Amino acid sequence: MKLSLFKASVYAAVLLPGMAYAQTNLNGSTGSAIRTEVPFLNITPDSRSGAMGDAGVALSPDANATYWNPSKLAFLEDNHTVSLSYSPWLRRLVPDVSLSYLSYAHKLDDRNSIGASLRYFNLGSISLADESGTSQGSYTPNEFAIDGSFARKFGDNLSLGLTLSYIRSNLSNISFVSGSAQTSRAANAVAAGVSMYYKNPTQQFGKDALFAFGANISNIGTKIGYTDNGPRYFLPTNMKLGIANTWFLDETNQLTFAFDVNKLLVPTTTVNPDGSVNNGDDVSVPAGIFQSFTDAPGGFSEEIKEITVSPALEYWYNKQFALRTGYFYEAASKGGRKYLSMGVGFNYQDFTFDFSYLAANQQNSALANTLRFTLSANFGGKK
């Protein structure tokens, strides 16, 4: 897309939450959401959980556990698993933004597994021109994160995981600070995450069943900034908690109910009387995490509104065909994302194809009609 220098600044103001109090953020929430940098880190990358209202922390393990809950990797059955996902993103706003996700998992032995993933967020190509139409060059904003995970079983039902991440955000060769242009640079950060997974085979209603609980705290890392002496912003440090209960109805049919809750562990965004925005950027990362549970101006009732919920269902027939649906809810005063999602999955031998569709129930939502595609493969036998 070709934009004038002025239009490029508007583009940044609409899409880049660290540069302006945006009306639509990169994750599809409105300007009332809690602001962080690199929000693409919390965009659902795969089709399975994308079809289930962004629930996934306690679902059965697959290669995409490197994003949802790395500790689940310890319970993978296949020696090697690889998955590739692609999603056009915010197509109602811009035509060439997309999220790609490549993940890999390897089972070292019966108790230990490792995983790695690459998330690449492409914001399209922007051509700059001055008001007279003279070309001022172009740039391609993009962001990516590289993750490495290790998971280990402790007994037959419990596993723990550790993740290390490198994050790079290259948004623009120009930023706007106090009305004056200032050369910016790509921003870099490192982060860590901790996770756990517990499963309990049981009997429910006379049928075999499996109850699972998962937890994942991710993106605990350094603040990120785009200029040498400019402000630095919080990463989207995030806590996911979830359950999944699977009923094995018979030899060919199984049904899973999942329920996730999610909370950002960063200070609440508030607007000062003079109209300026306070993101709590003057506090340290550890202080911001603890402060995130008690700093909402409206007290406990507002803190509860900062939690998103995702109920979901998944049905498998003969482990070959899956139907999925889910709902994502976020309070209107904290971003306002509300949408129903659905999708299908097909498993043939060692290959699985998943597709999801997001149907936002808000008029003119930037997330409406979002599609995701995922292709996964297992190889190397089973341990």
Q: Each residue of 259-286: pLDDT tens digit?
A: 999 999 999 876 666 555 666 677 889 9
Contact at 8 Å (CB) between 44 and 52? no
pLDDT at 365: 76
- 149-186 pLDDT tens trace: 999 999 999 999 999 999 999 886 554 444 445 567 78
Residue position matching structure tokens 């693409």:
40
Apex 257 CA angle, 343 and 292, nearest 5: 95
| Residue 364 neighbours by CB distance under 10 Å | 7
Residue position matching structure tokens 């706007």:
176
pLDDT band at 369; cut points 50, 70, 90: confident
Contact at 8 Å (CB) between 294 and 300? no
**Rounded distance, CA 71 to CA 120, Å?**
23
**Rounded distance, CA 36 to CA 39, Å?**
6
Whole-structure pTM value:
0.87
198 exposure class (CB count in 10 Å sphere: 0-12, 13-18, 19+): middle
Each as own residue / partner, the long-range contacts of residues 349-355 (CB below 8 Å, 24 or more positions apart, any chain) are 350/377, 350/378, 350/379, 351/375, 351/376, 351/377, 352/376, 352/377, 354/46, 354/47, 354/48, 354/51, 354/322, 355/47, 355/51
Length of the chain measured in residues: 383
DSSP code string of 139-159? E--EEEEEEEEEEEEETTTEE
